[in-house]
Chains A and B, each alone.
Chain A
Amino acid sequence: GENVEQHPSTLSVQEGDSAVIKCTYSDSASNYFPWYKQELGKRPQLIIDIRSNVGEKKDQRIAVTLNKTAKHFSLHITETQPEDSAVYFCAASKSAGNQFYFGTGTSLTVIP
């Protein structure tokens, strides 16, 4: 089966700095990679996703990059703000399957 590793587990940055969270996956058949943000006590919410036919995708301050050869993908948040503080989960999925395989999460704290 698929194994998704996520690093770091905790990350603190100063407001305005960038944050980078990295994930690796093991199954080359995985081809959809969403990122979810989970604020304390709330549901996971999709913030950005990328499919395997694309190397990079950007949405305002958030970007995701994918390296299929190395089987890793990263979330980049620029100009961080206190409201970016949350737990971020990466996930991987195969088009032939249904389930998402989640990483262990990164607790991001943006210090004002």
Chain B
Amino acid sequence: EPEVTQTPSHQVTQMGQEVILRCVPISNHLYFYWYRQILGQKVEFLVSFYNNEISEKSEIFDDQFSVERPDGSNFTLKIRSTKLEDSAMYFCASARTSGRDEQYFGPGTRLTVT
């Protein structure tokens, strides 16, 4: 069964540095998402992406964040000038269709900002 994959599994970075989190969605899926989960808290939506553009974003997704689909398989989340409070598990998800369809989650990247 195809799965969403994410790299790296764990990223440690210093405050102020830029990080890029990578995801490979399921190949025939059209909708891509980033969520984050601060330790012990709920999963929070960051952004959705469809047809090579952002379709929806949350208040969390400010100018510090950007997403890109640089080729036909990868989907990346860039976090510029990281802050301590960016430390969280970041999940990528993909879906065949929007809204009323299952989103398949990747295993997550644990980002630790020191």
- A contacts, CB < 8 Å to B: 31-32, 34, 36, 42-46, 49, 51, 89, 91, 93-105
Contacts and interface: CB of A to CB of B under 8 A. Distances in A.
Interface of B: 4, 31, 33, 35, 41-45, 48, 50, 55-56, 58, 91, 98-108
Contacts, number: 62
B42 A43 contact: no
| A32, A49, A93, A99, most chain B CB atoms within 10 A | A99
Given A43-B105, A98-B33, A98-B50, A89 B100 contact: no
Nearest to A31: B100
Nearest to B59: A1
A3 to B, nearest CB: 11
Contacts of B58: 99
A42 to B, nearest CB: 7
A42 B56 contact: no
A2 B103 CA distance: 18
Contacts of B103: 34, 46, 100
17 contacts: A32-B99, A34-B103, A42-B107, A43-B106, A45-B105, A46-B102, A46-B104, A51-B100, A89-B43, A91-B43, A95-B100, A98-B50, A98-B56, A98-B99, A100-B45, A101-B45, A102-B43
Contacts of A105: 42
Contacts of A100: 35, 43, 45, 103
| B43, B48, B50, most chain A CB atoms within 10 A | B43
